[in-house]
Structure 1
Amino acid sequence: MLSILDRYILKKYLGTFILLLLLFIPIGITVNLAEKIDKMLENEVPLIVVLEYYLDFTVYFANLLFPLFLFLSVIWFTSKLANDTEVVAFLSSGVSYYRFLRPYMIGATIVCIGALVMGMYLAPMASKGFNEFKYNYLKKGAQDRAQTNVYRQINDNDYIYVSYFNVKEGSGSNFTLEHFEGNKMEYKLSANRIRYNRKDSTYTLYNYTKRTIGEFEDEITSTKELDTVFSFEMEDLTPVEYIAETLSITELNTFIEREKKRGSSYINRYEVVQYRRWSLPVSAYILTIIAVAVSSVKRRGGMGVNLAIGIAIGMVFIFFDKIFGTMAEQSDFSPFIATWFPNFVFGILAIYLLRNAKR
């Protein structure tokens, strides 16, 4: 059963968090619209498409920055409780500091569950619409796909390579396909140029050569032009870099396993997205504890000092999250360590601040 204290703090916790979201999201939309409106007008984007984009933008924006919103909302209303000496009254009545924390942890659990559902299923759908809008209307042909030295394992037996692939034209140069049975190469296809035919999902190979490996001698066949079918499409050959953000957690797990077999160079990028969907919701507990420990003490400067401290800590957390995430995406740094390291560091900080606040 929740006591009056629990209901009072929990109401403040969730109410302030939702209020802060409702205040900041329109600001984010306004800033984004001011930045993009010229391109929208230039490309004559239909109003309904713009409205759908900003619906996706709202979910995308909320999912991306919810830890900071949560952190600031907890500091805001807890500082107000401290300034009104309500915290002192609670603790003076015989309530322990850990008991005082209980409604905060209940609120963090509710936010954590909501963030998990959003991150696993709702945010991927919003991310797809958000990124596709940018790709179709704002980037003017700029690509978010790998274009040079594309190497892929298509299945257990086939490996392909393209030195350059133009996604807009659906064509590539210096194409090769190698087919293996076990450790032995059975045949190798090569072409100076490959073109993807979107109408019927076929490929045309130019200056095509097939070399079949024989026991004593190889058999070579060649032709100037060949229409054929492969077991992969252009999206499999060069998936967009942001594709991991658009997949639900079950789809993402399957996709990552398939990409590992194909030798994708973006595995770290995909795994950062995968691990972050678990680490960000957990940060709700850590940031809540830090926010309470920082703001439950009445200070001379009032709420302004607590908010300044909170904003500084929040910015450092986001900085850590972005820096380590980028390191993992651009190098061999472990994506698991990169996504969980900020929680680990700030978890230690939360324990330290909590012990000092309790005293």
Structure 2
Amino acid sequence: MREEYGINLLVLKSLDRYLLKELLSPFFLGLLVYTSVLLMNQILLLGEMFISRGIPLPIILQLMIELLPSVLAFTLPMAVLMGILAGLSRLSTDSEIIAFKTLGISYSRLFRPLIVFAGGGWLLTSLFTLYLAPWGNYQWVKTLSSSLLTRAQIQMKPREFNEAIPSLVLYIQDISPEGE
């Protein structure tokens, strides 16, 4: 085993694992709570479309999955911050940071796994913001419009007002025998 500054490298690796483990549970809790809060309005709107517009449940679930990337682009940084703050708060409350300092571990060494964790959160947020959120939004609009238009085509009857599409009222004078 190689020694660096009088401290075993294996211990430092377990220190990194320990610090990261302290961050992960508040991170996932924050991610779950923040994502649920931001999705709540959309869940209500999708539920209304399921009940009143008759859109099938698999399409509603697909729409929900397509919304996740744009929501995660906001909630990932908040969850990373919550994980770091809650993890450091617990370490400070239990006087573990003082114990690490007593062992001769510097603050810069303690913050190394935190910086890696924050950098990973930054990379994931960048991925969601730059690639996955635009793709998810495009898929969401495509799925929603195709399901609403399909639903509207099924309900089309001549000489009746049709409100199958939100904020739009359609009136069909006549339908040809070919259905056009």
TM-score (norm 1): 0.35
- With over 3 angstroms needed to count, the CA separation of the structure-2 counterparts of 1:106 and 1:70, relative to structure 1, is same
Provide Cα deviations, 1:253-298, integer angstroms capped at 9, x if missing partner: xxxxxxxxxxxxxxxxxxxxxxxxxxxxxxxxxxxxxxxxxxxxxx
Q: Does residue 140 in structure 1 map to residue 150 in structure 2?
A: no
Give the counterpart of 2:74 among 39, 64, 70.
64
Q: Distance in 2 between matches of 1:133 and 1:40?
A: 14
Q: Distance in 2 between matches of 1:133 and 1:110?
A: 31
Provide Cα deviations, 1:53-99, integer angstroms capped at 9, x if missing partner: 11112222111232222112211121111111111111222122122
- With over 3 angstroms needed to count, the CA separation of the structure-2 counterparts of 1:85 and 1:63, relative to structure 1, is same
SS in 2 for 1:22: helix
Q: Which runs of 5+ in 2 are unaligned?
A: 1-8, 149-163, 171-180
Question: Which residue pairs with 1:11 in the alignment?
Answer: 21
Q: Distance in 2 between matches of 1:11 and 1:38?
A: 40
- Bigger CA drift: 44-53 or 66-75? 66-75
Amino acid paired to 2:115: M
Give the counterpart of 1:99 among 101, 109, 113.
109
Q: Distance in 2 between matches of 1:120 and 1:12?
A: 29
Amino acid paired to 1:49: I
Deviation for aligned residue 1:109: 2.0
Higher relative contact order (CA 8 A, sep 6+): 2
Provide Cα deviations, 1:19-71, integer angstroms capped at 9, x if missing partner: 32234434444443234422442222121110011111222211123222211
SS in 1 for 2:104: coil
Q: Give yes or no for contact 2:23–2:87 (8 Å, CA) kept in 1.
A: yes
Provide Cα deviations, 1:296-346, integer angstroms capped at 9, x if missing partner: xxxxxxxxxxxxxxxxxxxxxxxxxxxxxxxxxxxxxxxxxxxxxxxxxxx
Give the counterpart of 1:37 among 42, 47, 61.
47
Question: Which residue pairs with 2:86 in the alignment?
Answer: 76
Aligned residues: 143
Deviation for aligned residue 1:139: 7.1
Amino acid paired to 2:124: G
Higher share in strand: 1
Amino acid paired to 2:120: I
Identity of counterpart residues, as a percentage? 23
Provide Cα deviations, 1:129-148, integer angstroms capped at 9, x if missing partner: 33445667597247xxxxxx
Amino acid paired to 1:107: F
Q: Distance in 1 between matches of 2:74 and 2:34?
A: 13
Question: Which residue pairs with 2:100 in the alignment?
Answer: 90
Q: Give yes or no for contact 1:56–1:126 (8 Å, CA) kept in 2.
A: yes
Deviation for aligned residue 1:121: 2.4
Q: Distance in 2 between matches of 1:90 and 1:44?
A: 60
- With over 3 angstroms needed to count, the CA separation of the structure-2 counterparts of 1:93 and 1:37, relative to structure 1, is same
TM-score (norm 2): 0.65
Q: Distance in 2 between matches of 1:71 and 1:19?
A: 12
Q: Which runs of 5+ in 1 are unaligned?
A: 143-167, 169-359
Amino acid paired to 1:54: M
Question: Which residue pairs with 1:109 in the alignment?
Answer: 119
Q: Distance in 1 between matches of 2:131 and 2:61?
A: 21
- With over 3 angstroms needed to count, the CA separation of the structure-2 counterparts of 1:76 and 1:23, relative to structure 1, is same
Amino acid paired to 1:73: G
Amino acid paired to 1:105: I
SS in 2 for 1:3: helix
